[in-house]
Chain A
Amino acid sequence: MSETDANDGGVRRRTLLKAGGAAAAVGLTGVGINAVGEEAEAASDESGRETVHGNCWICRASCGQEVTVADGKAIDLTGVDGHPKASAGEGREGTLCSKGMGQLNKTYNPNRIREPHIREDGELRAASWDEAIEFAAQRLEEFAEEHGPEKFLRYQGYPLGKHPWHDLVFKNLYGAPIKVGRKTTCHGPFSDSWAWMSGYGREWPDWQNSEYIIAWGRNVMECFRGQWEPKGVLDAKERNDATVVCIDPRYTKTAEVADQWIPIKPRTDGALALAMANVIIEEGLYDEEFIGNYTHGFESYKEAVADKTPEWAAEITDVDADVIRDIAIGFAEAAPSSVAFPWTGIAYQSNGFKNAQNIQALNGLVGNIDSKGGTRQWTAGFGLDDPHEKQGIDVPANYEDQPTPDYDDYPFQRHVRDLSHNLVPKAVERGDIKGFVNNWSQPPKSGNTRAWFEALEEMDLVITVDAFWTGVSKRADVVFPGASQLEQPFLQTGGDGSYSTNGWVTGSKPAIEPVGNCRRDYQVYKALAEEMGWGEYFPWETGEEYYDSQLEAIGLSFDELDEKSYEIVADFEYRQYEDGGFDTENGLFNFDLDAKPEYKALADDIGVSTAPAWHPPDDDLFGETTNEEYPLLFTDLMVEQFSRGHCQALSQSLEAYAQRFGHEDEDYRGNYLHINPKDAKARGIEDGDWVKVQSADDEIELMANLWEGIRPGWVGTENGFGVGSAQPDEEGANSMLLNKERHVEPTTGMTARNHPVEIERLGGEPR
């Protein structure tokens, strides 16, 4: 082994790069390959081969794809050069991530549902489309008569390209008013705090132009949404000599590229943010001009941080006071080309809303709002046509007249527009919900798992569109086998992407025909609407025709767009707020949320400050903390190979994930419990051991991965595995079994994913 100190100008230090060959071990255990089959023959046949476009939607980022199709079969993929999501911008190479490359694996997966199914005499059986559509329509009518459509819950994952047809049928026509808000399963605390502070749903950094990036509870190099994100960070480092700081209790690939990794004590992020503000104000490094002209509540913010010194925060966060000073000053000096960007690491916390607010406030403090290299308020800058309007079709809003239940005893439910995910079982128990329609989602993996399973059994009617047998589709009354991304047309517009000041549109025709008896979304909803007597709202033959009509607004046909893959459409400037202010109650950027009446009422109710403030995670309101019986804190995590839970059935992704943590030589393809060797040793646990994670409420079992890159006292696993998952053998553990109704963040109703646990060794072999 050779070890060399490396120092390239003090920007970055890496001390060791050692790659073990392990030739013997790997070579001798080399397993079988199925390369010279039918598929390989098709691949070598050059004649029928063509390249078409697609848009990857595994993490719903719409990276433009180039798909090689031979004899009707997709055989290879890569990214579209210059694409706003798949590349770092004009003239730059397009790529797809390992999940995106797994797309063929999804499409041609042997476990894919290929026929419609209906439940008869308690059993699911395959049915023809006509039968299934007729059956679903009839059941929906009976349901409306018996319970009323208001008791039918809408639950959508992210339908391909966010098409409107699901809502058109179930919300506008059928009249089901309630859905589950995605914000309550993924990002509520930071997107709501951001929306209320800045009037913009979800910030996104202008990565490539940044000079100082704080990835805060966000693993941008592994859990990117679109190739442009990691590429943008690498560009920022290379071109702007940007500093990257990674705040995370585990060492991620973001920590790997970062100049500094700060393994903060979990759930104390808000204290760190306040102390940074304290330094920035003390040093006079804040943006007076921005604060004076465009903000509200600076005085109360200032007051809140007056005594929050780095020394105060060092106690709480276990981050050195000098480090806090350094990053505060670095961040402020680089403003307005700096950004502090929180994500699920913060959103998953029971005190996540206040922590997120404190972090977001930093961006306002230094004035890097909607700035070059700052946190951006992206916009498409143009609109598309409404095909119904153009045809003179008035779409009803039947959901509007429906009664909705109130949940006054759940404070967050008063201002969170939709039903909190964790409350659905309660709503079923109370008789408010009696059925639901699901599109490409697996709710029992997003929180309150056991209660959700019971609720599903309780429901009168469950309809799902999906590709795999999961905890939901197995329990459904009607299963529509949805077409995969490669089999569907796609259209999406956006701002956030590698073109910082342009809006764009990306679109593609289906690359291939659906396999088996699977059907494209438009065709599913059109058939159902026709059966229910709403055919007039679906006058277009295909989704492509609908998209074509939408695109007329920008003088582009869907054919042309498919040919090009993407088109840059509009220009927009940085600092859009200078012209018309922020889209908030008062038109200002709000440090203090007292201007938001719903939040003010809630805050008064539960006794928290509307201004940025420190709320420790260990009080009654903000959740449980570790104790003697449950001394470790458990959280669920994401990695590149599965930044969305529904990719787990993809063998390519599972394989890459096993390699990622060095367990590819084991048969096991479930998730790992990452645990520091110190904690493991105290419990007699060795790498690869089977372990039990026990909380006060429940338990799960999975394989241990001993890792120095995780903070002692803290353990975690990747989410989405185990019971209810799309993996046929449900291997691994569903971490949300530990989650119960009460585990929600009290402001946004978001599933809180931190649990005090104890870990016990079960032995060497998976059971």
Chain B
Amino acid sequence: MTEQWGFYFDAEKCIGCHACTVACRVRNDVEADGPKWRRIVHAENGTFPDYEQVSVSIACMHCEDPPCRTVCPTGAIEKRNEDGIVVVNQDKCIGCHYCAWSCPYGAPKFDDNNKMQKCHLCLGEGGGDGYGSPPKAKEEDGGTKPACVDNCVGGALKAGPMDELTKEVTDSAVNQATQRKGNIIIEAGGPTVTFESESD
């Protein structure tokens, strides 16, 4: 693979404001009550007054070895060689929802026609599959920043080739990232970030 794109998320800076989720819908022209390609989980712990919350912004992590692709019976899901972005060919999608069951991040969503759609790292707009789009270009090479990153109020989200993202962050975050299958680096000022799937 030439380049692997991924996300960077800093839990210390996320203020749980949902600007990223709305920005994603606005850029990609998804109705407010439509599928949520990016969502915020307000993870909580403890009882009053020993209570805390942490906000986590989640979308498709464009996994290294995507479980969604593995289970897809029609081969509709593709991990692109040029940028590692996981896209779905909606023409091949039969709406069986296996990908949704297998994805640890709850990323695959379905449209009216039961076609899978999800975060495509802002490869173009609308539709939701990103299939057939040209390789992801960095901002300085004339690409646009993903809408979620562009509007992250706290500056908690970044996107780019993983080797560039890893340069900017702490060793512990890089360590965590390499142990995870999804292409996301999480900076959380210490705590381990665990993503759990109810389906695995």
Interface residues of B (CB under 8 A from A): 11-13, 15-19, 21-23, 25-36, 39-49, 51-56, 58, 97, 99-112, 117, 124-128, 147, 150-155, 186, 188-200
Contact = CB atoms under 8 A, between A and B. Distances in A.
Given A33-B34, A653-B22, 9 more contacts: A23-B101, A26-B109, A31-B34, A33-B35, A34-B31, A43-B29, A98-B22, A257-B15, A660-B18
Contact of A1 (B124, B150, B186, B194): B194
Given A28-B97, A34-B34, A17 B56 contact: yes
Contact of B198 (A23, A44, A78): A23
B21 A656 contact: yes
Contact of A35 (B44, B110, B111): B111
B35 A709 contact: no
Contacts of B103: 21, 23, 27
Given A15-B52, A662-B42, A40 B125 contact: yes
Contacts of B152: 95
Contact of B15 (A44, A256, A263, A641): A256
A402 interface: no
A93 B29 CA distance: 23
A555 interface: no
Nearest to A235: B155
Nearest to B190: A6
A79 to B, nearest CB: 7
Contacts of B100: 23-24, 26-28, 30
Interface in A307-366: none
A105 interface: yes
B55 A253 contact: yes
Interface string A69-83: 000000111110000
Given A19-B193, A19-B196, A98 B43 contact: no
Contacts, number: 272
Contacts of A105: 32
Contacts of B30: 33, 35
A154 interface: no
B22 A14 contact: no
Interface stretch (A113-121, A140-148, A226-234): A226-234
A78 to B, nearest CB: 5
A18 B192 CA distance: 9
A225 B197 CA distance: 37
Contacts of A239: none
B28 A35 contact: yes
Interface residues of A, number: 84
27 contacts: A6-B191, A7-B190, A14-B11, A14-B190, A19-B41, A19-B43, A20-B41, A20-B196, A20-B198, A21-B198, A23-B101, A23-B197, A27-B101, A27-B110, A31-B33, A31-B34, A33-B35, A33-B112, A35-B111, A40-B29, A93-B155, A96-B151, A234-B155, A659-B39, A664-B36, A709-B44, A709-B51
B108 A256 contact: no
Main secondary structure of the interface of B (DSSP, over half): loop
A301 to B, nearest CB: 31
A488 B115 CA distance: 40
Nearest to B46: A708
A230 B46 CA distance: 26
Contacts of B40: 659-660
B41 to A, nearest CB: 4
Contact of A652 (B15, B29, B32, B191): B32
Contact of A78 (B104, B150, B197): B150
Contacts of B198: 20-25
A230 B153 contact: yes
Given A30-B109, A36-B126, A17 B18 contact: no
A32 interface: yes
Interface of A: 1-2, 4-8, 12, 14-28, 30-37, 39-40, 43-44, 75-79, 93, 95-98, 100-102, 104-105, 221-222, 227, 230-231, 234, 251, 253, 255-257, 261, 263, 640-641, 650-656, 659-660, 662, 664, 676-678, 708-712
A18 B43 contact: yes
Given A6-B190, A16-B52, A256-B16, A95 B150 contact: yes
A712 B101 CA distance: 38
Question: Which of B52, B128, B147, B195 has the most chain A CB atoms inside 10 A of its CB?
Answer: B52
Contact of B189 (A5, A8, A251): A8
Contact of A656 (B13, B22, B47, B117): B22
Nearest to B188: A17
Given A19-B193, A651-B33, A32 B112 contact: yes
B43 A16 contact: yes
B132 to A, nearest CB: 13
A17 B45 CA distance: 9
Contacts of A253: 15-17, 55
B50 to A, nearest CB: 9
A24 to B, nearest CB: 5
A12 B12 contact: yes
B44 A708 contact: yes
B196 A95 contact: no
Question: Which of B17, B51, B99 has the most chain A CB atoms inside 10 A of its CB?
Answer: B17
Contact of A654 (B21, B32, B49, B109): B32
A98 B17 contact: yes
B13 A234 contact: yes
Contacts of B34: 31-35
Contacts of A21: 103-106, 195-200
B35 A31 contact: yes
Given A21-B196, A660-B40, A35 B126 contact: yes
A139 B34 CA distance: 46
B192 A104 contact: no
B66 to A, nearest CB: 13
A261 B147 CA distance: 32
Contacts of B12: 12, 257
A15 B27 CA distance: 35
Contact of B191 (A4, A710, A711): A4
Nearest to B145: A78
Contacts of B45: 15-16, 18
A24 B71 CA distance: 14
A709 B193 CA distance: 21
A101 B19 contact: yes
A256 B16 CA distance: 9
Nearest to A677: B47
Contacts of A76: 26-27, 147
A97 B19 contact: yes
B54 to A, nearest CB: 5
Nearest to A26: B106
B102 to A, nearest CB: 8
Nearest to A42: B29
Nearest to B48: A708
A27 B100 CA distance: 5
Given A12-B12, A660-B40, A256 B126 contact: no
A640 B18 contact: yes
Contacts of B16: 222, 253, 256, 640, 660
A94 B188 CA distance: 23
B54 A709 contact: no
Closest 4 CB pairs of A and B: A27-B100, A6-B190, A21-B197, A651-B32
Given A40-B125, A44-B125, A95-B19, A676 B54 contact: no
Contacts of A664: 36
Contacts of B58: 19
B191 A641 contact: no
A24 B102 CA distance: 8
Contacts of A104: 26
Contacts of B191: 4-6, 14-17
